[in-house]
Structure 1
Amino acid sequence: MQMPGTNDAGNRAPDPGDIERSVVRWLRDELNDPEITGSDNFLDVGGHSLTFSKLNQFLGDSFGAVLDMRTTYEEPLGVAVTKTQPVESTTSITR
């Protein structure tokens, strides 16, 4: 039985506020713009597909979550963060 506030693995679900602060901090560093806030739009601050991919890699590694591209491109960052999804477990491909 899953406890409230936990994910399927029984770990505490990440706090959206923590994710938003991390996204803003990461984007400020990546785009060299200390003025970025959660009310900004990803594309308007200079984000693009490569930035999005790198940001999702960071979020997956840090929080086990990823952003939806459409929401991130169309909505303010704070809204996009509320719609993060858990990283799907993938199987490695052997050669």
Structure 2
Amino acid sequence: METPADNGKAGAADPADVAEALVDWLRGELNDGNISASDNFLDVGGYSLLFSKLNRFLGATYGVALDIRTTYTEPLDVAVTKMQPAEKR
């Protein structure tokens, strides 16, 4: 099955799709079904190791990564608008 990251266009992921996946992922990781895209990562219980895991998930799934400063200070939907192509390792 082809994932968005397989399309050869790293960083071309639709921000709405990424935001939806990010929220679903965070809900599962933090066991909190009330998390929304308008929430702040830190306010919902996010922490540095979880941010790293989130970026690994987004990189593997969509080929993108979030900026830590933006993700810590802005709502999740704003952080997604500033996503960058994930670095190849």
- Into which bin does the TM-score normalised by the smaller protein fall? 0.7 to 0.9
Q: Which runs of 4+ in 1 moved over 3 A?
A: 9-12
| Fraction of identical pairs, as percent | 61
Larger Rg: 1
The structure showing larger relative contact order (alpha-carbon pairs under 8 Å, at least 6 residues apart) is 2
Gaps of 5+ in 2: 1-7
Q: TM-score, normalised by structure 2?
A: 0.87
Instruction: Sort the Cα spacing of 1:87 and 1:52 in 2 relative to 1 into closer, same or farther, 3 A.
Output: same
2:79 is aligned to 80
Report the secondary structure of 1:70's partner residue: helix
Q: TM-score, normalised by structure 1?
A: 0.81
Contact 2:10 2:86 in 1 (8 A): no
Gaps of 5+ in 1: 1-8, 91-95
2:65 is aligned to 66
Q: How many residues align?
A: 82
